[in-house]
Amino acid sequence: MILSLPSLRRNPGRKPDHHGGNFAAIGLRRDAPGFAIWLAILCALIAATLVLGGITRLTDSGLSITEWRPISGALPPLSAEDWQREFSKYQQIPQFAIVNPDMTLGEFRQIWFWEWTHRNLARALGLVFLLPFLVFWMRGAFNLRLWTTLFVLLLFGGMQGLVGWWMVQSGLTSDRVHVVPWRLMVHLLIPVALLGVLFAVLLTGLSASVNQVKSDPGKARPLSLMAYGLCGLTFLQMMLGALTAGNRAGRIYTDWPLMGGALVPESYADLTPFWHNLIENPAAVQFNHRILAYLLLAAAWLAFALQAKKARTGAWRHPFFLFAVLVTAQAALGIVTLIGASPIGLALAHQILGVVTWLGAITLLCRTSAVLPVRRTDDRDSSQEYLR
């Protein structure tokens, strides 16, 4: 993987810290308390931003703030004149003229609140990532590999603000009343990836010693490859979900299992060139989202069946089973949401369960990768191994 995740490359030579998991094996000094709590808080905040972003999208609040002010934008309007000024800016964009021409100031304040809260939560997330990172670094808590992983994640997290504004800007001009769907997908891609990597590091640090896992590497590798495949499919499905949301595709073709009475919608290839259909054609986007859901569902249960053959007892407790159950629940919820034309409550629940399913995929990946052969490294805990 690009970041060479410490979470997936454990060091069997290090002994676990029975009070704090196995964080020494991923490049953390033993005298760095609070690291696990910090990672857990980061994961919770990223998950919260994903959910709040979903609420912002479902309530059509994302274009209510028409400027990007990273510092001064943290404060809300403080007077009636300030509120009227913000409302006047919103009245100048196509969404107001085409969708909300009768909106009152009170109604505007409601959608403005959701977007402002979403942006402020992102600001808080940035600070919660940056400040403890600097403290741990100054204390010499990271080795080079762990520092590099976290620093790259911090850079991508910092870019998310720019990507978010780049996305919002696409809905403020021309005759568009919503953001460009593929920009919404990119805006979702970054926090989903960040959440996956940070959660993987956290799980690895909290796990028991790799020495306690005894398995034939030849048998373990297929399990790990299946986990990588399921994780990749889950990530791709979340990106297709973003395209479906961005195209408002969940509110058309609300019949199931057919689409407009056909296996493949007639308008699947209406756009030219053809590749535009994959990101901008609501019919094609929804069809692709459905098909990948079926493939992921089948792959999840097939992987569990193959794993269960190798497990003598307790196969139902294995992450393969739990992941298959999550995928099944998500598929069922997706069908119910579609048939109901994506009401806000069901659509939000579908997004929340999608985040949970993604964490289930990461859990599966970490559990199976622990039985792979790893490269043995030096056991010495010299202070020269850590950055200051």
pLDDT at 144: 86
Q: How far is CA 300 from each of CA 28, 230, 287, 322, rounded to the nearest angstrom?
A: 34, 7, 20, 10
Residues 40 and 203: beta-carbon distance below 8 Å = no
End-to-end CA distance of the chain: 26
The pTM is what?
Answer: 0.86
pLDDT at 2: 43
Among candidate residues 323, 164, 351, 162, the one with its CA nearest the CA of residue 241: 351
pLDDT at 374: 34
d(CA 210, CA 14): 9
d(CA 56, CA 122): 13
Please confirm whether the linkage preceding 94 is cis (ω < 30° from 0): no
pLDDT at 24: 72
d(CA 360, CA 255): 29
3-state secondary structure of 85: helix
pLDDT in tens, the chain (388 residues): 445 454 444 444 444 444 445 677 677 876 677 898 999 999 999 999 999 999 999 999 999 999 999 898 899 999 999 999 999 999 999 999 999 999 999 999 999 999 999 999 999 999 999 999 999 998 888 888 889 999 999 999 999 999 999 999 999 887 788 999 999 999 999 999 999 999 998 888 887 444 334 444 555 677 888 999 999 999 999 999 999 999 999 889 999 999 988 999 999 999 999 999 999 999 999 999 999 999 999 999 999 988 887 765 555 567 899 999 999 999 999 999 999 999 999 999 999 999 999 999 999 998 887 532 333 344 444 434 555 5
